[in-house]
Each structure stands twice: as structure tokens, then as C-alpha cells.
Structure 1
Amino acid sequence: MTHAIFRLRAERLAETDLPLVRGWRAPRCHRCRVIADYCLCQWKPSVPAHSGMCLLMAKGESLKPSNTGWLIADVVEQTHAYVWERTAVDAALLQLLEDPQWQPYIVFPGEFVEPQRVVSEVTPVAGKRPLFILLDATWTQARKMFRKSPYLERFPVLSLAPEQLSRYQLRRSRRDDHFCTAEVAALCLELAGEETAARVLDAYLDVFSAHYLCGKAKTAVDPDDAAHCFLRPFIGP
């Protein structure tokens, strides 16, 4: 079964001039992007989620095997993904933002935003579901995307203040308080009152990281560690 980022990656591969994308020399599962002997597909969870996710992705993000936006799309059925461009906006993105079933929130640190736009809670709105807009990029790219996307200026900015430090190990930020995209999505689900979906996504990230890193190191994955054990009851058909 495909999802928005799977399709976006296929489009990007069809249009890129690069013969190989960094990190893809080892044979990988085409579905989960992990080295084939460490395939993650059997661990894909299934859990209901009322919220939606909208990923604005820097060019190249969908091609990176370490990208965690992919995990969000595996867990949250209503995940949408678009390549961000400064000079053009995907018409489907604008249509999504106008859809009356959604209440969009752009997720970004409040310290960089006018105070009147910043919120710290997800407030229920009758007849609407939360749609979390995530900037899937490096921190430098994300700041540029935020500044140069005027079509997002009318939406509240959800500023997260998590107590835990990031545990994402595949691509480290210079700051421990910079979270990977899947961690941000899990925090958003928690704020929306979807604790089970949040915990499943967190566990799925840990399982993905374990398979990815064990594949690089050629060491065995422990299928009975805490993350695998938590995820097992949620494994979908």
C-alpha cells in the first residue's frame, strides 16, 4: 500500500538527474527504505488517527532513507505531502488548506514568531479536525520555508515545548531540542488528545531507528526490545 510520501518519492526519482541518491548504494527494500536484510515492513502499525498531517518537504527529503516523514504517513492515514518551492505553490496544497473539514496549525518554534500568532494547545473547533503543517527539512531550510510561505501566514503557529530531548540518532541536529519530523508529529498527536497514536508513532520511530542503525553496523536487531514489544499488538494486516 502506497501513501503520499511514497508517491512523492516516485515523482522525485522520475525527475532527478542524479544517478544515485546518497545512502542508497546498499540494496534496500523499496517500501520501507531500510537495507533489505533489515526490512521493516512487517512492523508497520495500524492505529486510528482523527488528526491529519501536511508535510511541506524540502527538495530531496523524500529521497533520503533516513527521512522520518515517511513513518508519519505509515501511521496517520490522512497524511499529505508536497515539495516546497519558493516561487510556486502546489494547487493541491492550497485546496487542502481551504478544505472546511480541517483546522490547520503550522508547527514552528514560537520564539521566532509574532506572539499574537502563537498557541501552545490544540483547541477543538466544531466540525473541524486538526491538520498539522510540518516543515520537513533541516533547521536552516525550515526557517526559510516559514518566512517565504505567505499562504501560511493566516494560520496559528503551534509552538511545542517538550520536556524530553530528541532521541533521533540518524541525522543529528546541532541542538538537542531540535526534533525529527516524526517526533514532532507524535507530540502534535498527543496535544490533540490522541495518546495511543502518539505512542505508536514514537515506538515505530524507535523500531525504524533500530533496524536502520543495525543495518549500517551489520548487527542483529532485538525484536523483543521495549519498542518492538509495544508495537507488536498494533501491527496491521
Structure 2
Amino acid sequence: MLRPCASHALPHAVSRLRSARLARSAKPFLARGGPRGERCTGCRLISSHCLCALRPAVAVRAGVCLLMADIEPLKPSNTGWLIADVVADTFAFSWARTEVDPALLALLADPQWQPYLVFPAEAVEGGRPVTGELPAGAANGKRPLFVLLDGTWSEASRMFRKSPYLDALPVLSLQREQLSNYKLRRSQRDEAFCTSEVAALCLALAGEAHAAQTLEAYLDVFTNHYLHAKQQQPVDAGDAAHLRLQALAAL
């Protein structure tokens, strides 16, 4: 069960998508693992480990479009939520093989945005062009919009292959030497990043270093709170993760 939090701002795109998905559910969604009991509507954590007061405010020119697998918005461990907390222009849509939200098509066609579909180069077939960097400067003055496929690796692969309306978008493939530090859900692919990590890499590529670092730090703090709640341990607000987020928020 979720409860309102006084420090929680208006619901963002992922929060609204979660509410819409719950409204379609025939039975309550019960997350596997993690803390039991009442959760905050703002951060999905139990009240003793609430994260809402630590939500950073960052100026970000880029946007993020999350195309989410069916139950992904319902999972308390979903990190697309963190992206929407940090990046004001975050859009979220449910993915279905047989239909597409007209609002998604309108967003991708909006002249203020230059969309980039973010996906690993080794999984792209058919000679489709792939780039590892953004064009120097803004693309014709447009703001970058990073389209992220939010789900398990098999779900993301299905979205990539079975979404013809994405075929015309340039594919952005990211590379990073170190493995993912995300500790809440492990991918079968060791090199895979969680959605929030991918977004941070995209922001860095777009020249938004402060926003990228803030999102990375926010993910670390969220992971810290989530795991401590799961283990029924108190949070140390003075540890390295919290201090890094505080320092970035002060810039």
C-alpha cells in the first residue's frame, strides 16, 4: 500500500503511468522481496526509509522518453522513477506489441526534440546506422530526447524488434568499461546497465555532467535506502552516498 508524503511534489510521468496501470489491474500488485507494509507514494519506500526529502532539483535541457514493459512501473525497484524525479522532461508510456499510444508518436514527431533510441550496437541488425556519440552541438537546435526501453533484457529486445515506429530513429549505443553497480535486480548480461545508469550516461554524452552525476548519486542513495529497508536496518544519512548527493545538490 502506498501513502502520500508531505514532501512529495506533483506526480511525474512514471507515477502517473503506475496509477493508470494499477487502475487496469484485476488484483493488487505484490512486489517480490523488499520491505513489506505501507509505502510512500513519492518514492515507493516504507516511511522509515522515505527518500522524498532528498529528491534533487537539477536544470536539465535534455529529455527522456521511457517505453516501459507492462508491469515495470509497478516494481518498487524500477529506476525509471528516479529519472523522472531528476529530469523534468521525462515522458513514460506503456509498451504493447499491437498498439501504440498516439501521444508517444506525437512526442517523437515534436520539432523541438531530436529523439535517439538507446540500444546496444551488437544487438542491432540489418545494417541500421548506429552512433556512439551525439552530433557536435545541438542537432539543428533541437533538444536531445533519449528513448529508453525499460524492462528486462528480453523485454527490451522485444520492444526494439517489434516497434516499427521506432525504426526511423537514430540508434545511440553507449559504452562503459566498468560493470553496472546496480544491486537491486541483476541482469543475465553482466555488461547491462539499469535504466537510471543508462540515462546518466546519456546526459553525460549530451554535455549535462552535473545532471548525470546527480542522477548517479541519487541512484546510489535510493539503492542504499531500499536495501536497508529490506534488511530492516537504519539508514546512515552521513555515509559517502548521502554526502555525495548533498554536495552535488549544493552546486
Q: TM-score range by the shorter chain?
A: over 0.9
Given candidates 13, 19, 31, the residue that maps to 2:22 is 13
Query: How do residues 101-140 of structure 1 correspond to structure 2 at under 5 angstroms?
Result: 101-114=112-125, 115-123=127-135, 124-140=138-154
Asked whether the 8 Å contact 1:47–1:234 carries over to 2, the reply is no
Look up the SS of the partner of 2:40 in the other structure: coil
Corresponding position of 1:29? 40
Q: Give the counterpart letter for 2:31 in structure 1.
A: R
Look up the SS of the partner of 2:106 in the other structure: helix
Q: Does 1:173 align with 2:187?
A: yes
Look up the SS of the partner of 1:227 in the other structure: helix
Task: Give me the TM-score of the superposition, normalised by structure 1.
Answer: 0.96
Structure 1 residue runs of 4 or more that deviate by more than 4 Å after TM superposition: 233-236
Given candidates 199, 203, 207, the residue that maps to 1:185 is 199
Q: Does 1:58 align with 2:69?
A: yes
CA distance in 1, matches of 2:105, 2:231: 43
CA distance in 2, matches of 1:160, 1:27: 38
Corresponding position of 1:3? 12
Q: Does 1:220 align with 2:234?
A: yes
Q: Does 1:48 align with 2:59?
A: yes
Q: Give the counterpart letter for 1:17 in structure 2.
A: A
Total equivalences in the alignment? 236
Percent of aligned pairs with the same amino acid? 58
Q: Give the counterpart letter for 1:107 in structure 2.
A: V
Q: CA RMSD for the aligned pairs?
A: 1.4
**How big is each residue's C-alpha offset from its partner over 1:137-171, in whole Å with a ceiling of 9 and x where there is no partner?**
00001000000000010111100111121000001
Task: Give me the TM-score of the superposition, normalised by structure 2.
Answer: 0.91
Look up the SS of the partner of 1:183 in the other structure: helix
CA distance in 2, matches of 1:91, 1:135: 17
CA distance in 1, matches of 2:108, 2:215: 24
Higher relative contact order (CA 8 A, sep 6+): 1
Shift of 1:223: 1.0
Shift of 1:175: 2.2
Shift of 1:25: 4.0
Corresponding position of 2:5? none
Shift of 1:74: 0.2
Structure 2: stretches of 5+ with no match in the other structure: 1-9
CA distance in 2, matches of 1:201, 1:20: 27
CA distance in 1, matches of 2:197, 2:44: 19
Asked whether the 8 Å contact 2:214–2:249 carries over to 1, the reply is no
Asked whether the 8 Å contact 1:86–1:145 carries over to 2, the reply is yes
